[in-house]
Structure 1
Amino acid sequence: MPLFHSPFLQSELGEKDTLTNRLIQFIQRNIEQGHIVPGERLPSIRELADLYSVSHVTAACVYNKLSENGYVQSKNRSGYYVTKQPILPSYTQSSFNPDWLLQHAYEDTSPHIKAGGGWLSEQQIFTSSIQKSLKYIAQSHLIPSLMEYGDPAGLRLLRTDIRQLLERRNIHTTESAITLTHGASQALELSLRACTQPGDIVLVDDPGYCNLYLLLENLNLHAVGVPYTKEGPDTDALLKIQQQTKACVMVTTSVLHNPTGTCTSLDKINKIKEISKKTGLILIEDNIFLDLAPVSQPCLSRENKSDNILHIGSFSKTIGPGLRVGYIIASPAITQKILSYKMSISLTTPQINEMIVHNILKSGLYITHLSDLREQLFQSQKNVSNALKSSGLKVYSRPMGGLFIWARFAFDVSPLKITQMAAENNILLAPGYLFRPNQAPSQWFRFNVTLSYNKKLYSFLENITRTYSHK
């Protein structure tokens, strides 16, 4: 087939995508556009592998994914054929809510261009060190012991590593104050369970972390938004809201905020601590992007001497999203509650995951990796910000790093309609209303700078600008 000799790998898709995904998208797009017709036989697995110098395993994965997505079907030992009518995902108004972003964005059938995703791209995952750590574990005699339940607080070796890592940021703690968790999501759940009762009011950033709103709802807790500015939570509004609600807990992200990418200023941090001290408000600092910021970046937990501040961290945003290793730092009384809830929900956390992280930190390569990753993200912020502006969007604030840019069209649109149109073009967008308590209206969209390297994304955004800017 002449079509399969096309130099698409260099010309049609961004170099940041994986070879497997580029092959899948190439074939799917040509089926959708009618260049490959229903009933047509595709190259064999061997032929596809030879054409693009990939392994037979990769070629088989391409066809398996195309089959799962409804584009091709295998006929008894005669090869793969294009189906008569591709089965494409169906998106309705009820699709685009926090549940959808939380669950379906991770599914194989979700849009291929995941510009609104919340995780590192495959290229930023610390693959080499993960491989070295796994090799070390495989060649050691540790596997039998790592398969046991282990310490309820988590692997002590890793807790020591975390203490030493945080010391570089003037965040002082002890191993006994650190509880390892199954990612930051579990850390948030355990912290909230330890600090609240069903029916309590919890203050949250507005806009803020969308998955948190679902968690609060599931825990029968009531979210009240505190306006989030370019310098962090509006502390004047926070004081008034706290006086009115008598909330017991506030959850906030002070470093590389999700979704805006901004950092809370030192002045705001000091005022938040003052309000916490005066009103007894417990602060849960969800700082999973902390390692992506310079060590000098202030945060609530820095030089902290209060028992009213819990610190949540994670390695999913720096090593790999599937590793699922997070942690909580809390006072002794709260730590005991956290451990009790952790044991009742999941017993202990996987020691093998924790040992992988420990080996990476012990190797000394993690600090170098962070330096490289920060530089990559800084450049990505610049490139994506410029591309969004060229496509007709306004950028809220260009962050110094991290994953996210908060941007909107220069004119009002229907975010739901734009998100639906994007999904029909195999693009995942994250509309701003998902990041507000009770899905309050918003004209903003969150873009992940590591997942937004695709010409098709910007062509789509430019088309929206041309179509709707004069209406």
Structure 2
Amino acid sequence: MLMRSPTQSLTEQLSTRFAERIRTRLLAPGARLPSVRQCASQHGVSPSTVVAAYDQLLAQGLVEARKNRGFFVREAGGRPDAPVPARDESGVVEGWSTAHWWAARTVARGAPPVNATALIRGMFHRISDKPQPGMGVFPAEWLESSFMPAAVRKVTSTRVLQDCSLQYGEPLGDSHLRRVLSQKLASLNVQAAPTQIITTVGATHALDIISRTLLRPGDPVMVEEPGWAVEFARLAALGMRILPVPRRADGPDLDVMARYCEEHRPKLYVSVSVFHNPTGHCLTPGSAHRVLQLAHRHDFHVVEDDTYSHIAPEHATRMTALDGLQRTLYVSGFAKILAPNWRIGFLAAPPALVEQLLDTKLLATLTTPALLEKALALCIEQGQLRRHAERIRTRLDAARARSIKLALAAGCQFAAEPAGLFGWVDTGVDTDALAQRMLDEGYLLAPGALFHAERRPSTLMRINFATTQDAGFWRVYQRVRSQVR
């Protein structure tokens, strides 16, 4: 609640609170502010105070007023007055495919489909010391270990430290790490020689290298929806045409993919096959086979983002294993399971593409830091990473069981069978509005709108099973949800 102060009026306090959230991207571009009546009730002030606060935000250029709709956070660089084709209730414009409509919307508004930096900044902006249900990573205390510092000490206590510090590393990445990664991939039935592996500055960098190598501005790219907000925005920022493919329990909607192939000749399909974010779904062999058939028939590449491989069963279906790295490229990293700040990722590619991909890496980063790559190689080779991942999986299984019980008791329904790190939860209320109210309680949510190419109201939200075991969070959630209703 706002408190009267001799130095700052209630209007100034309220506008300052919203302005800070907008500037730190806790309120993303396009997000709707509470109605005047709702905001007044929530903060214990008069409607006139809210109107004055919103007027201040308007004057600062942080929000825009839309007639008969309310106040919305402005999209930087956007042109809200630009014409955008209207859609009917089914989401279809006569004579327009989804891809046509989306391309027009992106051009008209001059902005990426989802402001991914809002999600990134929000996920890592500590708004309180409480466990954050919207986080996309394991809690730091889960990742603590003694073997990582020991591995670093080992590689820095010899001549290696000086050698690695005074010269650039190998262009493809540390040869020892690539040999170890080749063996690790073989355990997943992905056959990739060390010469087919390129180390990167995290998995996102690997995805970026692939996009910049295989695509040109304007190329159509199929991406799963709901999906990773960063991927939507990253591709849009590169000027690609995003073709959202609905993700089902067994895999992508193959009928939609087939239509895209006939109408738009996409160049790439990006997929999280195992423990899909945010649904937790895993690809079935039948769906994987049909996707690969489409890729060969219509001449596009498949990028398999296996970010969650460390907590997934080894027998899970991976398209790269079925395809043998012909039309597929494999991407993974170690930020989620081991050391976020080491920023070590990698990609495995068909031999014919390796030199092109390497050129792109060299133009962007020259090489990657060899010291940490050597330390990681030791952690993998000595079995420490495997044992660490087993401990994380056991802990996550227990956390998931507790979180599921609490979520169901709080009146939530799971829109997908709970699995992996994330739960895809139906709250029954607008989660954009819910997320704003929960910020005041010190909790950061991940509303469903962030996981769609076209930001629209959603009753879904993604929860992190590792950070939603606290019954206190669910009590606050129930109280705030009843207020939002």
**TM-score (normalised: structure 2):** 0.75
Instruction: Write out per-residue CA displacement over residues 145-184 of structure 1, whole angstroms, 9 at most, x where no aligned residue.
Output: 2223201110010011111011111111100100000000
Q: Tell me the CA shift for residue 277 of structure 1.
A: 1.2
**Runs in 1 of length 4+ with deviation above 4 angstroms?**
108-112
Measured on the aligned residues, the alpha-carbon RMSD in Å equals: 2.3
Matched, 1:363 2:363: no
Q: What is the aligned length?
A: 386
The 1:391–1:435 alpha-carbon spacing in structure 2 relative to 1, beyond 3 Å, is same
Equivalent residues of 2:201, 2:368 under 8 A apart: yes
Q: Tell me the CA shift for residue 88 of structure 1.
A: 6.4
SS at match of 1:250: strand
SS at match of 1:322: helix
The 1:357–1:88 alpha-carbon spacing in structure 2 relative to 1, beyond 3 Å, is farther
Structure 1 gaps of 5+ residues are 1-31, 39-83
Matched, 1:91 2:91: no
CA–CA separation in structure 2 for the residues paired with 1:333 and 1:350: 25
Instruction: Write out per-residue CA displacement over residues 222-242 of structure 1, whole angstroms, 9 at most, x where no aligned residue.
Output: 211001011121112211222
Instruction: Write out per-residue CA displacement over residues 184-221 of structure 1, whole angstroms, 9 at most, x where no aligned residue.
Output: 01001001111111111110000011100111122111
Structure 2 gaps of 5+ residues are 6-12, 32-114
What corresponds to 1:161 in structure 2?
Answer: 180
Equivalent residues of 2:333, 2:346 under 8 A apart: yes
Q: Tell me the CA shift for residue 432 of structure 1.
A: 0.9
CA–CA separation in structure 2 for the residues paired with 1:94 and 1:436: 14
SS at match of 1:417: helix
Q: Tell me the CA shift for residue 269 of structure 1.
A: 0.8
What corresponds to 2:59 in structure 1?
Answer: none
What corresponds to 1:131 in structure 2?
Answer: 149
Equivalent residues of 2:425, 2:460 under 8 A apart: yes
Q: Tell me the CA shift for residue 104 of structure 1.
A: 3.7
Instruction: Write out per-residue CA displacement over residues 432-463 of structure 1, whole angstroms, 9 at most, x where no aligned residue.
Output: 11111132443211111122233442122211
SS at match of 2:146: helix
What corresponds to 2:458 in structure 1?
Answer: 442
Q: Tell me the CA shift for residue 108 of structure 1.
A: 4.3
The 1:365–1:418 alpha-carbon spacing in structure 2 relative to 1, beyond 3 Å, is same
CA–CA separation in structure 2 for the residues paired with 1:232 and 1:344: 35
The 1:109–1:393 alpha-carbon spacing in structure 2 relative to 1, beyond 3 Å, is closer
CA–CA separation in structure 2 for the residues paired with 1:376 and 1:299: 25
SS at match of 1:407: strand
Letter in structure 2 aligned against 1:462: Q
CA–CA separation in structure 2 for the residues paired with 1:202 and 1:193: 12
Matched, 1:430 2:446: yes
Equivalent residues of 1:391, 1:465 under 8 A apart: no
What corresponds to 2:327 in structure 1?
Answer: 308
CA–CA separation in structure 2 for the residues paired with 1:306 and 1:138: 35
The 1:88–1:442 alpha-carbon spacing in structure 2 relative to 1, beyond 3 Å, is closer
Equivalent residues of 2:285, 2:317 under 8 A apart: yes
The 1:461–1:345 alpha-carbon spacing in structure 2 relative to 1, beyond 3 Å, is same
Instruction: Write out per-residue CA displacement over residues 271-312 of structure 1, whole angstroms, 9 at most, x where no aligned residue.
Output: 111111111121011111112111111111114235210000
2:337 to 318, 324, 349: 318
SS at match of 2:159: coil
CA–CA separation in structure 1 for the residues paired with 2:343 and 2:325: 28
Equivalent residues of 2:178, 2:197 under 8 A apart: yes
What corresponds to 2:135 in structure 1?
Answer: 117
CA–CA separation in structure 1 for the residues paired with 2:118 and 2:263: 33
| Paired-residue identity, % | 23
CA–CA separation in structure 2 for the residues paired with 1:447 and 1:462: 15
Q: Tell me the CA shift for residue 366 of structure 1.
A: 1.8
CA–CA separation in structure 2 for the residues paired with 1:467 and 1:192: 44
1:236 to 244, 252, 255: 255
SS at match of 1:241: helix
Letter in structure 2 aligned against 1:358: A
Equivalent residues of 1:159, 1:175 under 8 A apart: yes
What corresponds to 1:265 in structure 2?
Answer: 284
